Amino acid sequence: MPSELGNVVEQAFSAIHWRNFRTLVAVSGGPDSVALLRLMVANADSKTKPNLIVAHINHGTRGEQSDADAKFVQALAQQQQLEFCLDSIPAQQTKTDPLVAPSEESLRNARYERLVSMAGRLGCRYLVTGHHQDDQIETVLFRIFRGTGIAGLQGIPQRRVVNDALTIVRPLLEIRSSDLKEYLRSIGQDFRTDPSNAESAYTRNFLRNEILPSLEQRFGNVAAAVSRLSQHAKQTEAFLDASVEPLLTAINLQTDQEVRLDRRQLIDQPDILVQKLLLKIWAQQQWPLQSMSADWWQRLTKAIKKQQAEAQTLNVPGSICFVIEKHQVTLTR
């Protein structure tokens, strides 16, 4: 293992303390997840290695090739003397239209749902995935082109708490895909190749195969630039999170279905903090965020801060009723 890669990996793995807990390692059979597994085994010892469990989700989208991927991962787990767990998802469960191939999002959501369920069933404290720096770059670019805010520029989080018992960890986010492949070559470890990754029909493949190489040819070290952008976004989000805390006093009532705000405490606040407060309320109430566009957040903020003589009612996506009165804002679902 190259010394630089070894240092990054050692730091990443030591930060999550996985060795003391049962840990589910998601392995697709591709180079990234195979490298993840081999690196975790290399960072384990005879006492901690049994905590590792290899997980594979067979989507069945490529027929015999998908089955071959599953067999490859099972053989790899056996070779490394690790427990193996397989789950399969019938193709129709990831399709919204039987005549259309399942989307990237539907496949990803189905995969995570099964992995989280598997981790809970096996009593795993951590679920570890092989996302790397190239995935991070693609994610940030994808979100930029979709019109993301500051939060989206943070990219893929290294840790995500699913519940009190499970945390998803991505220890390779600072490592390029090419370095992981070089590591596999250095130890003589083969892996599976998905031919569909070379096709640009899927958006992420398009970014990976066409956009990113062009950007790197023109601008050089795009990875470092995106990494800096993500770090700045994380710092900015942390500052905004701290800054919005005092505004929580504007909440006069909060139930499962209704939130009331003291409008007088919000009128003179910066727009970005009012929007941050609204986002926090949506998250706390578990109201649907997918249908809330940037235009909607701006519209709600403008309505809160606008001086008006009569009450105004807005019907917000997700069946939210947003009523602005002289001194109060009421949100009801």
- What CATH code is assigned to 3-220? 3.40.50.620
pLDDT band at 97 (very low <50, low <70, confident <90, very high): very low
pLDDT band at 101 (very low <50, low <70, confident <90, very high): very low
The full set of domain ranges for the chain reads: 3-220, 244-332
Average pLDDT over residues 133-152: 89
pLDDT band at 5 (very low <50, low <70, confident <90, very high): low
- pLDDT at 4 (0 to 100): 59
Largest Cα–Cα distance of the chain, in whole Å? 74
CATH 3.30.360.10 fits domain 244-332: no
pLDDT at residue 162 is higher than 90? yes
Say if CB 93 and CB 123 are below 8 A apart.
no
Residues in the chain: 333
What are the tens digits of pLDDT across the range 272-314?
A: 999 999 999 998 898 988 888 888 999 999 999 988 778 889 9
Question: In terms of DSSP bridges, do strands 320-324 and 312-316 run parallel, antiparallel, or are they unpaired?
Answer: antiparallel
- pLDDT at 3 (0 to 100): 52
Separation CA 82–CA 280 (nearest Å): 42
Average pLDDT over residues 158-176: 91
pLDDT at residue 95 is higher than 50? no
pTM of this prediction? 0.81
Helix (H) or strand (E) holding 187: helix 177-187
At 251, is the secondary structure helix, strand, or coil?
strand
pLDDT-above-70 percentage for the chain:
89
pLDDT-above-90 percentage for the chain:
53
* Residue bearing tokens 């069946």: 319
- pLDDT at 7 (0 to 100): 61
Average pLDDT over residues 160-168: 93
* Residue bearing tokens 């929580």: 248
Separation CA 44–CA 53 (nearest Å): 13
pLDDT at residue 323 is higher than 60? yes
Average pLDDT over residues 47-56: 92
What are the tens digits of pLDDT across the range 264-281?
A: 999 999 999 999 999 999
